[in-house]
A and B are shown apart, each in its own frame.
Chain A
Amino acid sequence: GAVVSQHPSWVICKSGTSVKIECRSLDFQATTMFWYRQFPKQSLMLMATSNEGSKATYEQGVEKDKFLINHASLTLSTLTVTSAHPEDSSFYICSARTGTGLSPLHFGNGTRLTVT
């Protein structure tokens, strides 16, 4: 149980275009979803926390107008990278949890974004 599906697994786009990444909890309702960015051999950097039906909470230094997050239902959150540039190339990972406290995070398998 507790499967999180992330799509697409990889995407190549041209500079200036926008890319949408979907994160779905397949067999549970996710009250909270998290979006992370990861560079090779480095840890995960939290970008934003989103709760269903409310605006996402962005971490300091993350541009909310560039990384649009929508959490419209308890099973779906989307991250849209707007006007992508080569420096946005990275591995983006979503995660979801069913509750609070000690409930663990369940991760998607990530999206490798390459902006040319």
Chain B
Amino acid sequence: TQLLEQSPQFLSIQEGENLTVYCNSSSVFSSLQWYRQEPGEGPVLLVTVVTGGEVKKLKRLTFQFGDARKDSSLHITAAQPGDTGLYLCAPHTGNQFYFGTGTSLTVIP
């Protein structure tokens, strides 16, 4: 079961551009995590957001949890080729751990 729709599904941009990835659901979550996965590897945790309206910054990455705790966004400023990967959001839903549909990002040098 994938409770979260991510958009866009694929994104290809030039180095230096900005981008935003969205994670949307009709359900309310107590918290949400963002992961990044590089080809041939397992996902790695980027951030956990807990409070509605919360904004967290991780260098050039800005994460926001919606006020109603149903959606989240990830904004990357001045994208670099090293940002290339699959970005996944994952809500906290008890003991199961489901992921969103994913956004595959390619940053072209």
A residues sitting closer than 8 Å to B (CB atoms) are 4, 6, 32, 34, 36, 41-46, 49, 57, 59-60, 93, 95, 97, 100-102, 104-105, 107-110, 112
Contact = CB atoms under 8 A, between A and B. Distances in A.
A105 B88 contact: no
B99 A109 contact: no
Interface residues of B, number: 28
Contacts, number: 66
B1 A42 contact: no
A41 B85 CA distance: 9
Secondary structure type dominating chain B contacts: loop
Given A32-B95, A102-B31, A102-B50, A43 B101 contact: yes
A7 to B, nearest CB: 13
B97 A34 contact: yes
B48 A102 contact: yes
B10 to A, nearest CB: 8
